[in-house]
Structure 1
């Protein structure tokens, strides 16, 4: 019966044209932006003005008022907006409650649109009511909807067609839905029964049928199994293990410090097929004067051999996007739970966070993206740790494809010796530009920089020789021929020039500036 009701809900939402663009049309771009800042007054004013112009609310306006703004509507208006499901059906699905002819929401139900390698798409996502609708801090078993971290991870997922994907800590199921577009089967796990209930509802609501949902902590629900791709937006937030500090299931794994992220990293090797890839978000601590990257590197080997055999050291490409001081970190996550800064509770929680960091000598907290790979015997290895404050570049929708291209390019150049590289022909990627600066009146540039328009938006300083080499990469001349011509032009030793330029060429290939 529940499945049939969800099908009726899908039909009604479709008929109502309940979409991201429809909501923007209701209240405008500025109100949309305000909602992203947790301010709903502009959207409410727009709906009031719309209702004054119409004799009866539009179905989309009713649904937006109820499920986006969290405000009650009349039972009659909801019946008009959901004619197939009706109020009784919405109550049976746990979406609303009715009293004296007024209906109030029990969940958020928001349209969500996206663009990935398979093209544009849209879904409806059910999650728990947020702070604005509740009027008080979130409950500890709160199931979060699509937030900034969710969008970040979905943009990073490499568009690779695979047989199997594991979504570890699925929450409302958004990453599992994305994974289902490029996998034959998806297993989605979570420690929260409530999260799995809503994730399964979202899969059915959006007519996605290749996801299996399992209850359990970390890798327990998939013991003895391996996957081609693992994705995870784990509960990585560092929370004091102190009485009276809320432990939110959607963000807190119940471990001390960054131990949850360490457990996920160490567990991936046992659960990846050879050449399989894991992608996740995470926080990591800087303790005392140590570099967090040293700790991350130590996590790449499992403490013990896995039940499926030996687990080799993982390949890793780890990007740190941001570093926060303990004070900034505490403020961010206390506010995230709905506790206002001007309250005694905020000050109490703030002290608990600072006490926790001080006890473990944590000086900073890093945030970033981890790409891990179970290597194939004899294949090139990848250990890359870098800090990129603008790590999503200028086109977040294509960053997953860029990651996949860079991974393939790295493997190619790492497996190609210098002689083969010199015989290769390369071309400059279409998004790459060169910037030159001159002193007034001078013919020769004083500064040359290569810029990447897509990908991670990297900028690379160029020497005269490297600029000449990149500029001549037209897909016709080999690298060796170009280096030879440059050596003559610059009157330098050709062998020395090769030794200087080839390592730089390899980096430009790995970063997507140059292509085969």
Structure 2
């Protein structure tokens, strides 16, 4: 398989794709909701039917070629890429043509699809090249397959803090999606990958979408290519998939499925994730942040918070871990066997052998489940000791992009860390604009049984509030200090102010940290 070349004319290609509206909205508008939804489920029949009816539309030609892997005539591609044509696409390594006639067939050498997302810095619209997937080829993925922007990639882009910084590291760049996002708020970006093919796709995607970016591409495993460097931000969607590698189970999976560079780090269990969490601090500048999406094992008799928490302790960094999903061993095996293109109906023997090997591998370590989530790490400034150690489960909905919320929560943690309760009592707080209050009453009752303070943004947290806490939050408009509010509420509720402060201040700190409350603007 070839890799696109940035030595052609990526700028002309970008202009052509914009001109014909080969965008996420443009393609979905052409397909319509039924065919678009089916294609997201990797079902092509509805899309084929719609695109056949709109054969003269340039978007149809490009979608058939690059998304579905169909052959398209040279004349159709010449019309669909004004100023570039089939010859220009050939020069870029995107297609190959059977001949020079208008009716001659053209086929795609890679996937080229529109990408749209909103991160903490705002919306983006790009085009990403990657290897053709199983949907287009009808074959199992190759070991060196370069994946496009999947769900995990988009999630990481949305949860990443986008504060302007000097240097960013994209560790395990793949097709370069995180590097592209980083280039919007960093002076320089270093992108690494063990795969030379992945670096080739990253180079092309950067030339197509961010030609002015200062992008340094380096080949190598994990932190090896950057051990002498320091970064203000590290982002990583590493090859975190827990794949059998040792013993008979590893031999079975190697023989039946092979290894995939984009997902298999070659380590037993979740050792790769552990080593990344404990080692990434060596390339972080003081105050630098690392964010990654990873898996970890939940083992029998050992709370996952203790196990992953020990990694945080060993890292010497501030740490915040949010588990977003939990799969049992069988679900996990099914997910990743199917991900590589093996299905029970097409290859029943390989499916069964790999499935059994995965279960044996998990059983050898007493694994009861696999967690998936977001890890945010930060190197303390100067010689400060870590002050943040937070591990939590949040399997529900959240509001993306989350990067701004993560940045605000880290800043709030720092604000609280330097204030004693006595100092906090002198501050004025305001309720965030996305906070609402829910009251639940028994029919006929005049007072609520339960009051919940609900956050609309970020993680959408809900906090069950006592009468005193609900009243406190309701009064936070920036006029009175925390101490003044506590004193007034103590008198109203006939509770000593010190007792009320002891009850409420820890919860108030949580509400400030999580964005329900914020320091009132100065003046």
Q: Same fold (TM over 0.5)?
A: yes
The bucket for the TM-score relative to the shorter chain is over 0.9
Q: Pairwise mapping of residues 207-222 of structure 1 onto structure 2 (< 5 A)? A: 207-208=210-211, 209-222=213-226
- 1:42 equivalent to 2:46? Answer yes
Unaligned 5+ segments in structure 1 are 52-56, 303-311
Distance 1:497 1:300 in 2: 34
Residue in structure 2 matched with residue 476 of structure 1 by the alignment: 479
Structure 1 window deviating more from structure 2 (81-90 vs 167-176): it is 81-90
Structure 1 window deviating more from structure 2 (502-511 vs 371-380): it is 371-380
Distance 1:437 1:6 in 2: 59
Distance 1:60 1:171 in 2: 26
Distance 1:456 1:102 in 2: 50
Q: Pairwise mapping of residues 272-287 of structure 1 onto structure 2 (< 5 A)? A: 272-287=284-299
Pair 1:435–1:370, CA change in 2 (3 A)? same
Cα distance, 1:432 vs structure 2: 0.5
Q: Pairwise mapping of residues 356-371 of structure 1 onto structure 2 (< 5 A)? A: 356-371=361-376
Distance 2:317 2:110 in 1: 40
CA contact (8 A) 1:380 1:415 kept: no
Distance 2:175 2:29 in 1: 26
- 1:10-37 Cα offsets, whole Å, 9 max, x none, are 2322222211111012111222221111
Residue in structure 2 matched with residue 64 of structure 1 by the alignment: 63
Residue in structure 1 matched with residue 243 of structure 2 by the alignment: 239
Cα distance, 1:2 vs structure 2: 4.4
- 1:138-190 Cα offsets, whole Å, 9 max, x none, are 11111110110011101100121100000000000000000111100000000
Of 375, 388, 409, the residue aligned with 1:382 is 388
TM-score normalised by length of structure 2 = 0.93
- 1:455 equivalent to 2:462? Answer no
TM-score normalised by length of structure 1 = 0.94
Q: Secondary structure at the match of 1:137?
A: coil
CA contact (8 A) 1:380 1:414 kept: no
Q: Pairwise mapping of residues 167-178 of structure 1 onto structure 2 (< 5 A)? A: 167-178=170-181
CA contact (8 A) 1:3 1:204 kept: no
Distance 2:458 2:34 in 1: 29
- 1:107 equivalent to 2:110? Answer yes
CA contact (8 A) 2:312 2:389 kept: no
Distance 2:452 2:407 in 1: 25
Unaligned 5+ segments in structure 2 are none
Q: Secondary structure at the match of 1:114?
A: strand
CA contact (8 A) 2:320 2:389 kept: yes
- 1:257-294 Cα offsets, whole Å, 9 max, x none, are 10111121122110000010000001001223112222
Distance 1:380 1:363 in 2: 31
Distance 1:385 1:117 in 2: 23
- 1:102-143 Cα offsets, whole Å, 9 max, x none, are 111111100111223333220000011111111021111111
Q: Pairwise mapping of residues 9-24 of structure 1 onto structure 2 (< 5 A)? A: 9-24=13-28
Q: Pairwise mapping of residues 71-470 of structure 1 onto structure 2 (< 5 A)? A: 71-99=70-98, 101-208=104-211, 209-241=213-245, 242-243=250-251, 244=255, 245-300=257-312, 313-342=316-345, 343-376=348-381, 377-378=383-384, 381-390=387-396, 393=398, 395-397=399-401, 399-470=402-473
Distance 1:492 1:105 in 2: 74
Distance 2:443 2:66 in 1: 61
Cα distance, 1:379 vs structure 2: 6.6
Runs of 4+ in 1 over 4 A off after TM superposition: none
- 1:430-488 Cα offsets, whole Å, 9 max, x none, are 11011111122222111111111111000100000111111110110111111111111
User: RMSD of aligned C-alpha atoms?
Assistant: 1.5
Distance 2:160 2:120 in 1: 10
